[in-house]
Amino acid sequence: MAHVSIRQARKSFGATQILHGVSVEVEDGEFVILVGPSGCGKSTLLRMIAGLENISGGEIAIGGRVVNDVPPKQRDIAMVFQNYALYPHMTVRDNMAFSLKLAGATRVEIEEHVQRAARILDLAPLLARYPRQLSGGQRQRVAMGRAIVRDPQVFLFDEPLSNLDAKLRVQMRAEIKELHQRLQSTIIYVTHDQIEAMTMADKIVVMQAGRVEQVGAPLELYDRPANRFVAGFIGSPAMNFLAGRIADGAFHAGGAAWPLPNAAGGVNGAAVVYGIRPEHMMLSPGGLRATVQVIEPTGSETHVIARVGSASLVCAFRERVAARPGETIEVLPNPALAHLFDEQTGNRLN
């Protein structure tokens, strides 16, 4: 277990710069998730921590030791790859024992560690099998077992669940979280699935195009996104954004007046973007008139796509909505939960 600091880390492949100075602090025993759209540099950052890519600028420290020039095997980290990278010619037992064997551990020690990992991950009946005789979820567990056996300071996961089907993913999500609670280890986990990030992380790092957009606890990012990108990235269905102006203590867009969040200052006439999450819209007689375009019942919620004035809006209601496309419903946002962003910079205003 160790503390990891990434300070102004930069990475370029040839002339193209991929990471533009990323700084993240990972506390001892913390579960940190890197999220961001595809190609934003999450895997690259993880591989730099592992030592599989060199560091073009800045520094990375693990447990207080700067590791820029430390080869991977001396960093005391374990990584679970997206494709698991199990050795196909070794049994599950040998896969898990490999690192200990190289480190010169005794037979007894190896067996003890392997058995312990197998018990934690429920792999005991599979120890004699080869990777190709395992299902995707079992392979995933072996890959984690290989990491656990080493008892490293830091675990790195690169999208370990992306090859699994939806049901298994939910199950493995719970298992990884439980594993973390049990081992109390430092975990850095990459995903582009924001639900994974929200459900598992102690702290989420949202990245875009090689920059950190915001770092914070899951609910902090959900409640107070620092900018429009984070607001749109976290939460599903995604936040609605309306472009308009503030006038007379209300927000005007597409011919409708929206109530402002309580804390909003009196920037009269300013061009802003108004953000409201679908689940923060309420059915409210006497509210804004919205023309229903599409209704999607999901069972627990009803998603309604509607037009308010000229703006299109997604709402998610707990109650069932009887309206049919073309009909009008009356809705209001919960103003306390609305967000205002600068139209130019995208930064949060309230």
Ligand X SMILES: Nc1ncnc2c1ncn2[C@@H]1O[C@H](COP(=O)(O)OP(=O)(O)OP(=O)(O)O)[C@@H](O)[C@H]1O
What residues make contact with another protein under the rule CB under 8 A?
A: 50-52, 72-73, 77-79, 81, 83, 85, 87-90, 98-99, 102-103, 128-133, 146, 150
Q: How far is the CB of 139 from another protein (least distance, A)?
A: 13
| 205-226: burial string, b at 16+ Cβ within 10 Å, e else | bbbbebebbbbbebeebbeebb
SS3 for 12?
strand
Q: How far apart are CA 1 and CA 13, in angstroms?
A: 31
Among another protein, ligand X, Mg ion, none, the one that 44 touches (CB under a kind-dependent 5 to 8 A) is ligand X
The residue from 32, 35, 42, 156 that contacts ligand X (CB under 6 A) is 42
- Judged by CB, which is closer to ligand X: 30, or 158? 158
Q: Find the binding residues for Mg ion in span 27-46 (CB under 5 A).
A: 43
SS3 for 184?
coil
Tell how strand 57-62 and strand 302-308 pair up: unpaired
Q: Which residues pair with 348 in a beta bridge?
A: 341
Q: How far is the CB of 340 from another protein (least distance, A)?
A: 45
Which distant-in-sequence residues (6+ apart) come within 8 Å of 276 by Cβ? Answer: 239, 240, 242, 258, 333, 337, 338, 339
The residue from 30, 31, 35, 43 that contacts ligand X (CB under 6 A) is 43
Find the residue with minimal CB distance to Mg ion. 43
Among another protein, Mg ion, ligand X, none, the one that 78 touches (CB under a kind-dependent 5 to 8 A) is another protein
83 binds ligand X (CB under 6 A): no
The residue from 141, 192, 203, 277 that contacts ligand X (CB under 6 A) is 192
141 phi/psi in degrees, rounded to 5: -70, -35
Q: How far is the CB of 1 from another protein (least distance, A)?
A: 18
Q: How far apart are CA 181 and CA 31, in angstroms?
A: 9
The residue from 2, 4, 35, 40 that contacts ligand X (CB under 6 A) is 40
* Among 11, 37, 6, 43, residue whose Cα is nearest residue 156: 43
Among Mg ion, ligand X, another protein, none, the one that 40 touches (CB under a kind-dependent 5 to 8 A) is ligand X
The residue from 13, 223, 267, 297 that contacts ligand X (CB under 6 A) is 13
Give the DSSP letter of residue 335: G
SS3 for 158?
strand
- Judged by CB, which is closer to Mg ion: 42, or 280? 42
Q: How far apart are CA 206 and CA 33, in angstroms?
A: 8
Tell how strand 31-35 and strand 186-190 pair up: parallel
Q: How far is the CB of 138 from ligand X (least distance, A)?
A: 23
54 binds ligand X (CB under 6 A): no
Which spans of this chain sit near ligand X (rule: CB under 6 A)? 13, 18, 36, 38-44, 192
